[in-house]
Amino acid sequence: MGLRTGQQYVEGIRHRQHASIYVMGKRVTDVTTNLFLKPSVLAFKATFDAAFEEDTRDLARVYSPIVGEEVNRFNSLHTSPQDLVAKVKLLRKLSHKTGTCFQRCVGWDALNTLYIVTRRMADKGKKIYYDNFIKYVADVQKKDLALAGAMTDVKGVRTLRPSEQPNPDAYVRVVEERDDGIIVRGAKANITGIAVVDEVVVMPTRAMSENDAAYAISFAIPLDSPGVKIVVGRQLNDARRLEGGEVDGLPYMFNHEGLLILDDVFVPWERVFLYKEWKEAGVLVEIFSSYHRQGYAGCKSGLGDVIIGATHNLAKQIGVVDKSHVQEKLTEMVFLNETMYSAGLAASWEGRKLVDGPGGFWVNPMYANVTKHLVTRFPYEIAKLSHDIAGGLLGTAPSEFDLKNPEIKALIEKYLQGVPEFTAETRLRMIRLLENTSLSVAYLVESVHGAGSPQAQRISMQRLYDVDAAEKIAKFLAGMGNRPVDFRVEPHKKSEAEKT
Ligand SMILES: Cc1cc2nc3c(=O)[nH]c(=O)nc-3n(C[C@H](O)[C@H](O)[C@H](O)COP(=O)(O)OP(=O)(O)OC[C@H]3O[C@@H](n4cnc5c(N)ncnc54)[C@H](O)[C@@H]3O)c2cc1C
């Protein structure tokens, strides 16, 4: 099949069996009708619909040599810089359709990472994981499955290794080996879209030592596997979804994150992609995090477009759009937004093939880290500028239900209107859109911590930059040394993934 419609995806997750999902203390049986989760279902659904809508059809589909047919790009393996560029562009476009995080890129990045990692092991003589993975990815592509990616362990004491933790389950581990598979235990935190997917791909979250071998584990399981429990997290303003309004919750598509608990879950051997290969864990993390950091260029600049557009409209509604400081601030927002995007495109165009076969094209790790590091800062700047222009009503506006109450409706219409060609309702609509996007988890907290906290990028950039080579250049120009002969243009070192 290869391509499902959005409606087929919704039907698929409606009919799951065992999935134990909890929202605000209550078990949810049907995520597609649950008011808290429905916005997430709609955002995820948009990634399926994109393959059928005229303005994204070409971006959202790609031929897969693995199954010999077109598949949804979110389940594809990258074979060229063009594929990586298409990823960033697709993510930007999807932000325009959803106004939030559409939650499908972590699973996508996990697939591309595991292709490289299992292929590297196959090239070194251990073929079983590659064979498992290729069968798995073919199945995912043919069924057009919705995947979550689970890397971040709950981690207990941050400074201790998995095997040193007071809680031995602070990192996901294997607690039993059987003839037909393994039993895994542990929990993964902050997992995007976890309640609304078909399957989850689990990966280690850090470099490991030999003592951590039981924790060096990667596998995929259906969400309704016995023992899987999901506790959905809360977000600012989330109760608006339960109110039955049609303004206050705009854009009415939202992401969610959740705690994924693996309470002694059975994983058959054919779904295991890494086990006890502790030396591979660090490289896996480097490959995944670079893919994921590159992707943020697309989704966050797309949300930036929504915020810039909303701010421009609100400036019109109160009659200040032509003022020079407003124009300057809007230009600054554009500059910040396009800078993040440009870095992601550079990370894509400057990518490189790491392993042979129908996948294995990786990003430029330096530019991917630069991209994500910009993303840890610029959305906050853009949000601040948008709040400046929108005015204080952004934090004080009455609810849509006040506007609908005949007792005060006329007064609100009179006093919230700015420029006469707009109405109080249009102002309220745009205010709510701006509030719910610019203050959202998807735009702010995720920008800081998703794909790793800021320090993680700084450590990567420090490792990748060859400061000694730069010093040699400076010493030559200062008359303190010979002209260095170096064929590299950028003084960048090889990443771990490229070294081995
Ligand atoms: C909205 C959102 C969506 C996400 N989606 C996903 C997802 O789909 N899948 C997934 O796997 N993960 C996901 N994440 C998790 C994300 O990757 C982590 O939040 C991130 O890696 C940071 O880990 P942490 O939250 O445990 O923070 P911590 O690691 O606890 O970091 C908190 C602070 O402690 C510092 N710190 C941590 N360890 C050390 C140390 N050893 N020494 C010195 N300082 C240290 C950090 O630099 C940081 O400043 C998501 C996160 C968010 C916020």
**Which helix (H) or strand (E) covers residue 176, if one does?**
strand 173-177
How confident is the model at residue 16, as a pLDDT? Answer: 78
Which residues belong to the active site? 101, 105, 192, 257, 292, 296, 299, 446
How confident is the model at residue 1, as a pLDDT? Answer: 67
Q: Which two tokens stand for residue 105?
A: 């890129």
Same domain, 294 and 207: no
Please write the tens of the pLDDT for every residue from 337-348: 999 999 999 999
In ligand 1, the atom with minimum distance to the C-alpha of 445 is 53
Please write the tens of the pLDDT for every residue from 367-378: 999 999 999 999
How confident is the model at residue 15, as a pLDDT? Answer: 80
Please write the tens of the pLDDT for every residue from 134-164: 999 999 999 999 999 999 999 999 999 999 9
Candidates 400, 386, 391; CA nearest to 429 is: 400
Ligand 1 is surrounded, with C-beta below 6 A, by: 106, 149-152, 155, 158-159, 188, 190-192, 257, 441, 445-446, 449-453, 455
Q: Where residue 420 sits, what CATH number does that domain have? A: 1.20.140.10
Count of structural domains within the chain: 3
Same domain, 110 and 250: yes
pLDDT at 491 over 80: yes
Same domain, 53 and 90: yes
Residue ending a domain, among 274, 307, 341, is 274
Q: How far is the CA of 456 from the centre of ligand 1 (A)?
A: 9
Candidates 150, 164, 174; CA nearest to 209 is: 164
Ligand 1: residue whose CA is nearest its atom 2: 446
Round to whole Å and give the CA distance between 337 and 349. 19
Q: How far is the CA of 373 from the centre of ligand 1 (A)?
A: 14
Same domain, 27 and 99: yes
**Mean pLDDT over residues 28-40, rounded?**
95
Same domain, 45 and 185: yes
Residue ending a domain, among 244, 274, 304, is 274
Same domain, 300 and 191: no
In ligand 1, the atom with minimum distance to the C-alpha of 148 is 8
Round to whole Å and give the CA distance between 214 and 216. 6
- In Å, what is the CA distance from 253 to each residue of 23, 88, 334? 17, 20, 24
Ligand 1: residue whose CA is nearest its atom 49: 453
**Mean pLDDT over residues 181-207, rounded?**
98
In ligand 1, the atom with minimum distance to the C-alpha of 159 is 41
Same domain, 449 and 480: no
Same domain, 421 and 490: no
**Which helix (H) or strand (E) covers residue 20, if one does?**
strand 20-23
Ordered DSSP codes for 184-213 = EEEEEEEEETGGG-SEEEE---S---GGGG
How confident is the model at residue 2, as a pLDDT? Answer: 80
pLDDT at 17 over 80: no
Provide the residue range defining the domain that includes 211.
Answer: 6-274
Residue 152 maps to a domain: yes
- In Å, what is the CA distance from 147 to each residue of 128, 168, 268, 292, 484? 22, 27, 18, 15, 48
